[in-house]
Every structure is written in structure tokens, then in C-alpha cells.
Amino acid sequence: YHNNLFCLAGIRLAPKEKLEVPVLFMPTEMKIYKAVVAIHVMRENGENWPYKVAAGSSTDLKRNVTVAENGETRGIVWIYPINGTPEAPQQKSVVIRCQARQRVEQRVELLLIGVIMPGATAQPDAGNSAEVDSDESSNTLEVTDGSSATLEFLYELQYQSDEIRSQLESLVGMQLVEKEWDTESRIVTLIFNVVFAPSKPMRDEATIIIQCTAGGLWKFPLVFIATEPEVDDVINIEAVGLNKESIVGFKLTSQTR
């Protein structure tokens, strides 16, 4: 967003007509950007509306109208606050492969490039600092540079659909094991230990979403691949003669109720 006024003066609107206001966002840094789109409408003939704002009217109504000297309504204002969150370019997928009915642990190193130093930008308002969906899998972490400077991040493992979530949620675990902050390169390194214990062959995807409360969003796609399991056993059937049936029995145990 640019800190200047973009005026759409002289636009004539018929009753019930729609107006589209273009908003262009081209962030240069990984920080929170805020702007306001204000639209002011007045009558084409310059006359006022005979409506007068009473002294006891709500604050929102008083803020959304402009009043002439005689107390009549001169114009109406609509104000739309806009919060911009820069998102880092899409990263390459990290593939985690495991044979079905086995368990694998893999260290995943994530580089957060372009992190803004504390104090370089205004802190976000309370309630707007975390746009990542907060649920039981969301976590908050603090990263320090060895001094008093601290950065706060939110991280979460998101799934492409509820169906994939139901398949992977009980098979995948993620734990932060290391964190490092290089103030010169403005790179924060987070190392996670990802556990994958599939019960059957599959191929599903998930995404690690990381957001800095000072601004910036990073996404790291993960691909979980479970290959065919090992053969449980070999069943040998010995023939008792031509055109005679041979029978062998074996037990199958269900892994769930």
C-alpha cells in the first residue's frame, strides 16, 4: 500500500449500481501493512439530504456522515480497513517416506527468509496478530537473537481437506526441536522432528503454516508417502491328491475395534 490519497472523484453512480474499487498490494518486506479505503458519496446536484443527525445518534452514524452548516447531511462515508500480510514464495515440497506398518522420524529444516527485526515496524493490534487458524494443533514459539530482541511465531500443520486430516492426524506428529535467529541475514531457522507411522499405503499432502506476529507468512508443503508393507507370512498348502481339496487355516487380527 502507498501512503497517499487515491481519489475516485467525479464517478457518477445510478441507484443500485455497484462500484468496484481496485486495491493493489505489492509488499517489499515481511511486515504488517495497513491501509484504509474511504468512499465519500454526495448528491450530483450538490444538494443536501434533509436528514439531520440527532445528538443522541450512535458514534458509527456520526462518523459515517458529513454534516453541512445547517445540520443536514452533506455526504455519506464508508470506511474499509485493509490489513495486508505478505506471503513468502512457495517452497519446494519435503517428502517423508515410510513403509506401511513402520515408523520414521525425519528432521525438517525450515528457513524463514526476510524476517523484520523487532522495532522496525509497528506491532499489530491485539486480535489481528494471528491469522493462522488457532486450534489444538496451533503452537506459539519465541525466537531470540541472544539479546533482548524477541520474535514471536505461530505454527500449525494444515491439511488440504477434512478427509485428509482424518487420515493423517493420528499418523503424523510434529515437534519443534531447534530454533536459531541470524540477525545479519534476517533468517530464522526452525528445525522440526516429524514422525510418520502409516498403517496402510497412501500418499497425502499437508502444509506447515508459519506466521510471524510482526508480519509475514511462510508455507512449507509436506508430502507423506507410505509404501507397501512387508509380507506378513507365506501360506503353504500341501495337496492330498488329485481332485481333492486341501484346507489350511490362519488368523487375521484387526488393528481397530
Q: Does residue 132 surpass a pLDDT of 90?
A: no
Q: Does the structure show a pLDDT above 60 at 238?
A: yes
Domain positions in the chain are: 1-86, 94-117+151-227
Check: CB of residue 206 under 8 Å from CB of residue 222.
Answer: yes
- At 79-113, the pLDDT tens digits run 889 999 999 998 899 999 999 999 999 999 999 99
| Full-model pTM | 0.72
Q: How does residue 256 score in pLDDT terms, banded at 50, 70 and 90? A: confident
27-44 pLDDT, tens digit per residue, is: 989 988 999 888 888 888
Contacts of 230 (CB under 8 A, 6+ apart): 99, 101
Q: What is the CA radius of gyration of the chain?
A: 30
Exposure pattern of 156-182 as b/e (b: 16+ CB <10 Å)?
bbbbeeeebbebbeebbebeeeebebe
pLDDT tens digits along 173-207: 999 999 998 888 889 999 999 999 999 999 999 99
Q: How far apart are CA 4 and CA 33, in angstroms?
A: 14
pLDDT level of residue 8 (50, 70, 90 thresholds): low
Q: Tens of pLDDT along 151-167? A: 899 999 999 999 999 99
Q: For residue 126, what pLDDT is reported? A: 37
Residue 133 has pLDDT above 80, yes or no: no
CATH architecture for the domain at 94-117+151-227: Sandwich (2.60)
Which of 68 and 135 is assigned the larger pLDDT?
Answer: 68
Return mean pLDDT, the chain.
Answer: 84
pLDDT computed for residue 249 by the predictor: 92
The answer to whether residue 137 scores a pLDDT higher than 60 is no
Structure confidence at residue 21 (pLDDT): 85
pLDDT at 131: 46
